[in-house]
Chain A
């Protein structure tokens, strides 16, 4: 199998009414990668995904999935892809188990194999108890998990997740992150779009940012994050304070009487800061990095363009 999971060349899409959703994007996702495709609403992410899974006709350009050109070998390309769409798209009157087994049928997988796989994945995503419930009876989080099971039933090499954790509570979101990470560890290529940038920062190795139909950044997550010239840290302190003495070259904010936030440039050393605290009798209990680094970079990139 090809080492490139997804190759997109000069992909363009113009909708009726001359709306240019994609203005010629190029993208390459390696096999085994965990790839983030980010962008503001209406940037073209879902259009790109829908073209890959053939729910939208492209205007021009080339898309290959594991070297299968969607113009020439669409069936083979589709077999390699599993997709979790942004919106719920199952028959709400169907039972959970039936939705999954029927999906397998569309891929030519017989009922016996499909039932075994359905049991495996429904159990892994804590849906087995709900197998006889109709989809409409599931909560939002369970519906999202059902779509993941459905996408995996034909065991695709490439899994595309279009905002899979939207509207999901933090507990389910974390369990979904772990499940998806494990899939990637076992070799499955994953493309993720999300508005939770913390999610992309924690999970993905490579990233592309799309805005107004163009790729404005395409690099590794490490490389992108290294471009940050400053970090924001949160300090928990033992004794409540009302005012904190400022220190030159640092921006210090009090979030609440026992929590302060400090911006630190990468070139600055922390000793001076700790000495400043000591001198002012401020005792540090705990210190952590504010986890919104990607968000800041993202906003910077999108606003700059």
Chain B
């Protein structure tokens, strides 16, 4: 395939994904907006008003970046895992597999769909947060780098999950039992500095802590960790997941017999 044809195939996958996301907005966009509004209301407003400032910022200001990141992680992952698994389930994935579209185009096409949904939901949650607090911007470049890299990593993670999934149950195991606990324990609602030393050490093993803190640094200029370690981890995770997915697709794991 020539470069122009490859771009056409890529656009086809992305357009399909974007149309799907917007068509079923009540499933893809609305739930996060409602859930996160409740988080702002309950944790930020009701409980947060009883919590003292963290590094000079109100509790509401502190949790906004984490809650945005929580929605980006969940939506990027869920978009790719559900969309790609559905094509496997309906066998419409065969439409692409019999075509000359290279595997890497399929991979980045579906990842782009996940990134689009992740960023769109992130933007919606950011807009919702404006009803509750004002937004500080410490470093816009860092915000963009962290949100983009995080959505890339979790879109690729969703694809990996979808490749191995055989039943619909399989696409909810990772989000429920891995992603959700790691995200909640990843410093979305608290700074790890309030934890005992032992749990601080344990928390440092959680990669989502680095993503949340890097992103928060872009807004508030404060972080529990060195954000460059977070940046490095994201780049490495993205590269590893890209390679693993590409290798599995080439082998035909979960796609071919």
Whether B95 pairs with A106 at a CB distance below 8 angstroms is: yes
**B178 near A: Cβ within 8 Å?**
no
User: Which B-chain residue is minimally distant from A15 (CB atoms)?
Assistant: B257
CA distance A92 to B91 in the complex (A): 10
**B30 near A: Cβ within 8 Å?**
no
Whether A90 pairs with B95 at a CB distance below 8 angstroms is: yes
- Chain A 68-97 against B: per-residue CB contact (8 Å), 1 yes, 0 no? 000000111011010101011111100000
Whether A57 pairs with B12 at a CB distance below 8 angstroms is: no
CA distance A126 to B163 in the complex (A): 37
Whether B100 pairs with A75 at a CB distance below 8 angstroms is: yes
Whether B257 pairs with A50 at a CB distance below 8 angstroms is: yes
Q: A54-B98, A75-B1, A90-B90 are in contact. Are A106 and B257 (CB under 8 A)?
A: no
Whether A102 pairs with B16 at a CB distance below 8 angstroms is: yes
Whether B98 pairs with A150 at a CB distance below 8 angstroms is: no
**A109 near B: Cβ within 8 Å?**
yes
Whether B2 pairs with A108 at a CB distance below 8 angstroms is: yes
With a cutoff of 8 Å between Cβ atoms, the chain A residues found around residue B102 in the complex are 75
**A103 near B: Cβ within 8 Å?**
yes
Tell me which residues from 84 to 115 in chain B have a Cβ below 8 Å from any Cβ of chain A. 86-87, 90-92, 94-102
Whether B95 pairs with A150 at a CB distance below 8 angstroms is: yes
CA distance A88 to B94 in the complex (A): 10
Selected from B4, B15, B16, B91, the residue in CB contact (under 8 A) with A89 is B91
With a cutoff of 8 Å between Cβ atoms, the chain A residues found around residue B254 in the complex are none
CA distance A261 to B128 in the complex (A): 82
Whether B100 pairs with A108 at a CB distance below 8 angstroms is: yes
With a cutoff of 8 Å between Cβ atoms, the chain B residues found around residue A110 in the complex are 8
Q: A89-B92, A90-B90, A91-B90 are in contact. Are A106 and B256 (CB under 8 A)?
A: no
Whether B256 pairs with A54 at a CB distance below 8 angstroms is: yes
Whether A106 pairs with B94 at a CB distance below 8 angstroms is: no
**B36 near A: Cβ within 8 Å?**
no
- Chain B 1-36 against A: per-residue CB contact (8 Å), 1 yes, 0 no? 110111011011001100000000000000000000
CA distance A110 to B4 in the complex (A): 9
Between A and B, how many residue pairs show CB distances below 8 Å?
78
- The smallest beta-carbon distance between A256 and chain B, in angstroms, is 45
**B232 near A: Cβ within 8 Å?**
no
- The smallest beta-carbon distance between A33 and chain B, in angstroms, is 21
Tell me which residues from 15 to 71 in chain B have a Cβ below 8 Å from any Cβ of chain A. 15-16
**B201 near A: Cβ within 8 Å?**
no
- The smallest beta-carbon distance between A147 and chain B, in angstroms, is 10
Whether A107 pairs with B100 at a CB distance below 8 angstroms is: yes
Selected from A57, A81, A92, A106, the residue in CB contact (under 8 A) with B9 is A106
**A166 near B: Cβ within 8 Å?**
no
Whether A105 pairs with B9 at a CB distance below 8 angstroms is: yes
Whether B257 pairs with A76 at a CB distance below 8 angstroms is: no
With a cutoff of 8 Å between Cβ atoms, the chain A residues found around residue B6 in the complex are 108
User: Which A-chain residue is minimally distant from B11 (CB atoms)?
Assistant: A105
Whether A79 pairs with B257 at a CB distance below 8 angstroms is: no
Whether A106 pairs with B92 at a CB distance below 8 angstroms is: no
With a cutoff of 8 Å between Cβ atoms, the chain A residues found around residue B257 in the complex are 15, 50, 55-57
- The smallest beta-carbon distance between A204 and chain B, in angstroms, is 23
Selected from A56, A83, A102, A154, the residue in CB contact (under 8 A) with B12 is A102
User: Which B-chain residue is minimally distant from A87 (CB atoms)?
Assistant: B91
CA distance A89 to B93 in the complex (A): 8
Q: A15-B257, A55-B98 are in contact. Are A91 and B1 (CB under 8 A)?
A: no
CA distance A290 to B101 in the complex (A): 48
Whether A56 pairs with B9 at a CB distance below 8 angstroms is: no
Whether B92 pairs with A90 at a CB distance below 8 angstroms is: yes
CA distance A89 to B92 in the complex (A): 5
Whether B92 pairs with A107 at a CB distance below 8 angstroms is: no
Whether B9 pairs with A108 at a CB distance below 8 angstroms is: yes
**A53 near B: Cβ within 8 Å?**
yes
Selected from B8, B16, B252, B256, the residue in CB contact (under 8 A) with A109 is B8
User: Which A-chain residue is minimally distant from B16 (CB atoms)?
Assistant: A102
Whether A53 pairs with B98 at a CB distance below 8 angstroms is: yes
With a cutoff of 8 Å between Cβ atoms, the chain B residues found around residue A79 in the complex are 100
CA distance A85 to B11 in the complex (A): 25
| 25 A-B residue pairs with CB within 8 Å | A56-B256, A57-B252, A75-B102, A83-B98, A87-B91, A89-B91, A90-B90, A90-B95, A91-B86, A91-B87, A91-B90, A91-B92, A92-B90, A102-B12, A106-B96, A106-B99, A106-B100, A106-B101, A107-B100, A108-B8, A108-B9, A108-B100, A109-B5, A109-B8, A110-B8
Instruction: Contacts A91-B86, A106-B12, A106-B100 known; list 20 others, CB within 8 Å.
Output: A54-B97, A54-B98, A55-B97, A55-B98, A75-B1, A75-B102, A78-B98, A78-B99, A79-B100, A88-B91, A89-B95, A90-B95, A91-B90, A103-B99, A105-B15, A106-B9, A106-B96, A108-B6, A108-B100, A110-B8
